[in-house]
Amino acid sequence: MIMPMLGKGAAILGGAVLLCGAAAYSAGVVCVDVQEKKPGGHHIFLPLPALAGPAALALIPAHHMHMPINDRREASQILPAVEIAAQELERCPDGTLVEVESAHETVHIKKDGGYLTIDVDDPNETVHVAVPLRIVGTMAGQIARRAEQQRGSDPSI
């Protein structure tokens, strides 16, 4: 009697783990890669599941997300535009968005597939960051809604 129940429980748990893994995989990965150029310099490669950002924001209690009044005003104006821009960038063809070259550093920001990639190269280090555009839009929307909720609960704004 107990063995069939354990088997069903294990099957359900295994299915839930696979479902969560599939959801995390479909959302993509945020990659941060930093390489110091000095001899013996550090190399940090940090791949993170993209769903970790929105999940973390959802778990932060409202009283810990307090923003000063001026920041709330700015957030409620800028973040919806960031959310829409990320959604529209997903539909655009891949290509360079910003390219800056100076005597000391080079910065490239581009759309590559469903990712926003930022590459910085200077004499001390090379930095590469890749973030799924879908997650940029999702998090901008989450923060904007939190800022708007704070504005709505504070009549002085």
Q: Distance (Å, rounded) from C-alpha 6 to C-alpha 18?
A: 18
Q: Is the pLDDT of residue 34 over 80?
A: yes
Token pair 């960038």 in the structure block, residue: 89
What are the φ/ψ torsions at residue 137 (nearest 5 degrees)? -65, -45
Average pLDDT (34-54) is 91
pLDDT band at 157 (very low <50, low <70, confident <90, very high): very low
Q: Full-prediction pTM beyond 0.75?
A: no
Cα(157)–Cα(48) distance, integer angstroms: 37
Partner residues linked to 109 by β-bridges = 98, 118
pLDDT tens-digit series, residues 91-142: 999 999 999 999 999 999 999 999 999 999 999 999 999 999 989 888 888 8
User: If we measure between CA atoms, which residue out of 98, 131, 101 comes closest to residue 114?
Assistant: 131
